Amino acid sequence: MFHYTVETDQSIEQAIKALEASLKEEKFGVLWEFDIRKTLEEKGFAFDKNFIVLEVCNPKEAQEVLTRNHMVGYFLPCKIVVYEDSGKTKIGMPKPSALIQMVEDDELKVFAKNIEDRLIACIDKSVA
């Protein structure tokens, strides 16, 4: 699977607040919150579900990985999505370990897996 996704009974707002708190503990910050529904509606397109994209980053680790290989910047910042699906709130992300396969660097695969494990822990903690 290229992604990790969980389900919660929390509202989207509650899920985002809990996620931001757990991310902060791991020194990840939310750089940008993109409300896709709102943006599409502003452009005249109907979209009936809430769908929020959070772009998250740990600056120290971003600097480290970009110094090693600037092509990793194509995958940064990491994205976590919070959205409605069948009456539930879902939180998910593309797995950094899946994305990093395209760079073909074994040391970066270990780095990406570490980031992935920490982000998954943040997501899991936010829905616990």
Only one residue has tokens 């494990």, namely 117
The tens digit of pLDDT for each residue in 20-37 reads 999 999 999 999 999 999
Estimate to the nearest angstrom the gap between the alpha carbon of 46 and the chain centroid.
25
Q: What is the pLDDT of residue 10?
A: 96
Q: In the predicted model, what is the mean pLDDT of the chain?
A: 95
Tell me, letter by letter, the H, E, C secondary structure of 87-120.
CEEEEEEECHHHHHHHHCCHHHHHHHHHHHHHHH
Is pTM beyond 0.75? Reply is yes
Residue 20 has, within 13 A of its CA and on its CB side, a CA count of 13
CA distance 117 to 101: 16
- Give yes or no for residue 126 having a pLDDT over 90: yes
The tens digit of pLDDT for each residue in 84-116 reads 999 999 999 999 999 998 888 888 999 999 999
